[in-house]
Each structure stands twice: as C-alpha cells, then as structure tokens.
Structure 1
Amino acid sequence: MDYAKLFRLDDKRVVVIGAGSGIGRESALALAAHGARVTCADRDVAGAEQTVAQGYPGALTAYALDVLDDAAIERAAAELGPVDVLVFTAATNVRKRILDYSSEEFDRVVSLNLRASFQLVRAFGKGMAERGSGSIIGFSSIRGTTVEPGQSVYAATKAGLVQLLRTAAAELGPSGVRANAIAPGVVETPLTAQIKSDQGWYDAYARKGALGRWAQPGELAGAVVYLASDAASFVTGSVLAVDGGWTAVDGRFEPPN
C-alpha cells in the first residue's frame, strides 16, 4: 500500500450532480485537485460552467442534467461512459409544518430528494456493477436523524436516502461497488438562505453544534474525496457525519460543576 497516494484519484472518472453551486461545486473542485476527471452536472449549466472556470484545466467539464427527468438520467449514464464515482448533492426543502403542507409540495421535495436519487443510483450503479467497481456518494443530512418543526418531508427524504444507500451497499457490494452517505450539519449554501436571513435563527443554529459555527461548503469536500478514494476501500453502507458535533451535543446549556 502506497500511503502517499491513498487519497489520489488520478484518472478516476467522476460525475458530480449539483456541481453548479454550494457543496457540489466545492466537491467537484476538490476531486479534480486530487487527479479526477470530473463531469460537473447540473440543471443550471451556467453554474456548472462557472465551476469549470475556477481551475484545473482539462479536468472539469460541464454537463446539463435535470435529474427530475428519468430519460435524461438514463441518457447521461450512457453518454458519459464508464463512471468510477457518482456524487449527488441536489436537494430542495419546503419549511412548513405537517398540517400546512400541500400535496404538491410533498411531491416536489420527495421527487428531487429521494426519487431522483433512486434513479441516479440505478442508472449509474448498473454500469459500476458490470465493471466490478465504483463508489456512490449521496448527501443526507443531520435531519435524517434529528428533526425540528417544519422539517417533516425533508427529514423523511434524508432518512430514506440513508436506507436507500445502505441497501445499494448490500446489493452492489458483491460486485465491488461501495455506497455511502454524508450527513452535513448547517452549511452556508443557497438552500439555507431562509435561515441565514434571520439573525436569531442563524445564531441559534451556530450555537447548537460543538464548534459554535456554521460550515462552509468546502468543509464537506474532504469527506467526498475520502469516500471516493482508496482510503475508504472498506467503507460502505456508512453515514459519515460532517456536522460540527451537532448530533453529538444535546444542547448548549452549561451545567454547573
């Protein structure tokens, strides 16, 4: 084992779904920095092109993909050729309490967060299994295990994604394919704009974790590189928490000595 190259991804072919912004963008850049050839897939192709323009000439390419379109996913799996690593970050949220939720809103959140993930795992996992290797990395959330009012459907999809990936690990593992989830805490991305705009809400979230702050998108990239690389060759069916201690700490009250 050459430990100096443990995290290298030289010539690995990677597809990052949601690479046009936020965690997806930083993941794509980090993977390219470690030698991977990365397809930056996003419905917002202009955003994906901005990711490509940020560096690593020749290592990054943009690709237009709407993951709500089943046929487009199948087409992408065929057009992009053999893929060694699939990363998907795309998600949405409607912050409403259960009694206020509409059926349309339910369908919208489930369609992107869970159904699209299912289709991606099927389309790209098939080729990986046939080739005998691959790594599938999906983004769950702290909301897959801890909840708060207004997060019902989002939390359900993130918990469901964990079980989907665990099942993929069980079914595809004999063919050499690994499947894992990353569970971020609070991260400053476009998805959390509603919270960031409310200073009290923002501060309360910052205080909840052990580190007392929010994460930046780039702080999730190391976990992606790890799970994509040979450093995680025996890691599958796992949930890697990158949450600043959110799920380890049960509140910010400091009891007296």
Structure 2
Amino acid sequence: MTSLDYSRMFRLDGRHAVVVGCGGIGAEIAAGLAAQGATLSCLDKDGGVAEATQDRLADPSGRAHAAYPVDVLDTASLHRLAGELRDVDVLVLTAAVNVRKRLLDYTAEEFDTVVGLNLRATFETVRAFAPRMVERGSGSVVALTSIRAVVVEPGQGVYAATKAGVMQLVRTWSAELGPAGVRVNAVAPGVVETPLTQQIRDDERWGRAYAEKSALGRWARPEEMVGAVCWLASDAASFVTGSQVMVDGGWTAVDGRFTPPFG
C-alpha cells in the first residue's frame, strides 16, 4: 500500500514557500505555489515588487502571505531574515542578472556583478535557509538555472558560467543535504518572454532565431515555468533531487531547426 495520496500529491497545503526574486517569472511561480495551497513569503530587493506579488496572492481563506524587501547580496540582512522565517518548507531562487558582452570586453566590475548575484547570492541564500530544513528533516529547494548552464553563445559566457556553477552547487547540496531529507533541484528555462529579454524580441531577426531554435518553434511564457517548480516543491517529486529540469521547448534536445531531405 502506497503512503502517497495520489489525489493530493501536487498540493502544498500547510507549507511555507519563500520565493527570492519576485519580478517576471518569480511572480508567476509565487502565484502557482499559492494556488497549490502554500503560504508565500515574497522576497525582492525592490520592496514594491515584493508587495505587488503579495497583493496578487490575496486569499479569501485567510492565508497570511507576506512581502519582505531584502538584498541577497547583504549577507547579514539575509541571514537575519532567514532566522525570522523559521518554518520554511520550500525555497525558490530566481534572482539573476546578465551583462551581454564578449568575454574579452568584460570589465572586472561587470564580472563581479554577474557572479555576485547569480552564484554567490545563491550560495548564501541556501546557506541561510537550508540549516533549519535540515533540523526539521524535510524541505525542497528549487534554483532557476538556464539553458546556458548547458549550451552557450557569444556574449553569454559569464552568465553561462554562473548558471553551470549553480547547477554544480545544486548537485553538491543534493548529496550533502539528502541524508537529512532535504531535496535540491533546478529548473532550466529556455527563452522566456520577460522584460529582461525585451531587447532580443525587439530585434525581429534575433527574436525569430531564438523562437525557431526550439522544437516548439516559439518563446515560452513566464507561467510555463510554474508547473516544473510546483512539481519539484511537492510530494509528487519526493524521490527527485540533484536534477535539472529543462523547460526549454526542446532547445537543448534538437540540433538546429533545419530538416534535411530524406530519401
């Protein structure tokens, strides 16, 4: 007899989820987790963004969703807040930045900016929240990586290096925290229609090339990242850890979009 209730295996009722980075994809993820029953704490450097996401989650059932302005590069403030939010069951990390430049054109300051937010802040955020998950013997951490953790293009080198680095942290955390019942996974989006990619979509040729690179032949919508995150957060993924779920429309599965002649 299975101990898993199939009728509720995707539900998150009674669980506290923290989403770090609540603009764009993060806002959709927060809404998706709340729809599955979780109580949300929305964290963002911009307090207004965090509050806007909290307002979107208004719940007639009385769940007390919260918003907190926090700079994840401020280690002391981050750890202090993690100490206040003690009963965290789900931690989702979405905050990232990119500077599109060829590697030889990068400045040291730009390198530090990308590595600082994408890699070091991810490291510190898990260090802040995971210990209490370990103490309780359960928890799910989901980090957003990228197709750039696997494949690269000119101008994306430092960003790609940080996302590959995050995935190696995910694998290591899964090994180190797994015995305590804490699962750590990643979701790797492909090209998604967000304000951060507006520059690409404004260039018709560039935007079309990205759309045609995937097997589905289009860009993703932010809400299409939500299902994978909710699954990894839930009991439905109770034996999944150390994995990177590609939500990329087949980008990393296909070798270009040209269909050669057959016969």
Question: In structure 1, what is the equivalent of residue 158 of structure 2?
Answer: 153
Paired with 1:71 and 1:202, the residues of 2 have a C-alpha distance of 40
Name 1:63's counterpart in structure 2.
Answer: 68
Deviation per CA, 1:181-232, whole angstroms, max 9, x where unpaired? 1100000112212212211111100000000100111000001100000000
How far is the alpha carbon of 1:127 from its aligned partner? Answer: 0.9
TM-score, normalising length: structure 1: 0.98
Q: Assess if the C-alpha contact under 8 Å between 1:12 and 1:37 holds in 2.
A: yes
Tell me the number of residue pairs that the alignment of Structure 1 and Structure 2 aligns: 256
Equivalent residue in structure 2 for 1:13, among 13, 16, 36? 16
* Partner in structure 1 of residue 205 of structure 2: 200
Gaps of 5+ in 2: none
Separation in structure 2 between the aligned mates of residue 13 and residue 225 of structure 1, nearest angstrom: 13
Task: Compute the displacement of 1:236 (Å).
Answer: 0.2
Contact 1:185/1:244 (<8 A) preserved: yes
Alpha-carbon offset, residue 131 of structure 1: 1.0
Report the equivalent of 2:177. Answer: 172
Pairwise CA RMSD of aligned residues? 0.9
Cα drift, residue 59 of structure 1: 4.7
1:67-100, CA deviations, whole angstroms, 9 ceiling, x for partnerless residues?
1110111011111121111001000000000110
CA distance in 2, matches of 1:67, 1:196: 29
Contact 1:33 1:56 in 2 (8 A): no
Question: How far apart, in 2, do the equivalents of 1:141 and 1:75 lie?
Answer: 29
The share of aligned pairs that are identical, in percent, is 63
| Map 1:23-34 → 2, pairs under 5 A | 23-34=25-36
For residues 126-155 of structure 1, give each alpha carbon's deviation from its aligned partner in whole angstroms, at most 9, with x where no partner exists. 111111110010010000010000001000
Partner residue of 1:215? 220
Unmatched segments (≥5 aa) in structure 1:
none
Moved over 3 A (4+): none
Deviation, 1:60, is 2.4
Secondary structure of the residue that 1:245 maps to in structure 2?
coil
Match status 1:22 vs 2:24: yes
CA distance in 2, matches of 1:52, 1:120: 20
What is the CA–CA distance in structure 2 between the aligned matches of 1:190 and 1:232, rounded to whole Å? 31
The aligned residue for residue 6 of structure 2 is 3
Deviation (angstroms), 1:55:
3.3
Q: Provide Cα deviations, 1:19-46, integer angstroms capped at 9, x if missing partner.
A: 1x11100000000000000101101111
Equivalent position of 2:41 in the other structure: 39
Amino acid at match of 1:24: G
Per-residue deviation, 1:56: 3.7
CA contact (8 A) 1:96 1:151 kept: yes
1:58-97 paired onto structure 2 within 5 Å: 58-97=63-102
Separation in structure 2 between the aligned mates of residue 192 and residue 76 of structure 1, nearest angstrom? 31
Select 1:52's aligned residue among 38, 51, 54: 54
